[in-house]
A and B are shown apart, each in its own frame.
Chain A
């Protein structure tokens, strides 16, 4: 006989920074909350991020990943929220006003019925084949996150001589980490014309360790039938296609890839949660409520963030409102789409619920192209400008945050067709 169904208010899926913040916020509202974690320990990917740079905004100090995770875990434990580790959600059934989760755990099948779900499932790494690197398939090809886990958690050294493709933050951090462990890092190759990592990481991880960064350069193929023997690298043209005449043979035994993160939303798909084609995460309103009633989402499964502090912030919002949804029943939402214009790659949230008691919103955006001039971000509704913010420089890798405060929120006309966010370049002023 299977264990009886357990009834709770809120289930949080994932115990990374988003899930932990959500669980704490949910419990603080008085909701009976449980966190499900498929790995052996809570903390998500923070566990393996032993470098510092976490928590500048949330804790006003610089912490390592495990330190940051520890604080969040302690908070959740203090709030008496159980974190069930080794608990894998195999499927979710959508009932009337509840969700039934079927979980696999070493103590048997656990069935949990929840009024609200918070998806905090994070993201996965894009692999070599998903960026169409060809050639052989030997041992010695790692995603940066896997290499990081092998070194920092398992104490294993992935190779002796490495080439890194992709200058996202994980790629940069791994260049430094490998160097510290005595691995010869031949260089970091970036297909774009600039690094997609934070500026501080380029300084601290590459320049301080004399690791060369090759921009507009990519790995074209891998050589070696058993273990990597070498990679071919080549410069790329404006369309990011390799220029074969520039191809070079670089002997190495390891290829590390930091070529992008993909939000993990397989459970969201199974619940038919609408997904934003740009972020690859669920479409959410300003309280992180997806377009399926009762399903909330936060953190990197919504959109890939650059700072953990933002991930935690979205978790807190999602947790708080998931609890409210579960406890107070289901109020109708008045969703107003947020449209974007100009150089904006995306804006999250994609919707504002104007009937929500939450009268302010944290918004995040990324630009498509670098802007090195002063830019204004204008928030308009029904042809009327509600707010205007100024940015000095904007880079695609950097996620930007702005807030719609209570005053502005209240000035959104009801009903309104949409809220539009546009980026406008400011003409140079003549002081």
Chain B
């Protein structure tokens, strides 16, 4: 076996051991060394050179990046997640013919979908979704994220919250917690427009707070314009759009002049 490959393998074994005992600092140090080592393999993307060890090297590199993604979730570092995922993606997309698909592929792709939802990058979410074959959509991890997005768009937040309890993979918990905050803000925004007032207990339940204390704190921090009176939360309605009394004269003049100019061109 190639000595370089053996060395990286050993280092990766140490990394995995550190990850297993949750020694994240060591993991980080080892990971950056590993990534440097990986640059020395010519068979990896973007070169894809046909070397005798190509299959082993590709497998190893993919395994390393998969672990890197999991590590970034553990570290709660979204930027690192994006970086590692981008490095991992070519292994999923472009190595189909060379190495067998990884069992971790769909959980990680699902995780990425969830991240895009949390960061409210819906366009990218759909772009990623288009890349998945039909059979991938059946996988629980992907399905979870897709249904999640649907409920979210519809406004069925209860379903989103119940989905939170049934996570398909342990790494999903971190993003689910982040989503809870996003959902709370959404619900607050909707309630503001949908209701005139809500009783404190109802508001507490809707916004998923355990105590009045937390609710009060949330209102003072996020929505100081709401009013709490006689056990009710009153939402200060934004002024309804009044029927227009004034004629927007400047705009009208501009438009009419442009019509005249264009018509002159025609006649």
Co-complex (A, B): no
Residues of A near any B CB (own CB < 8 A): none
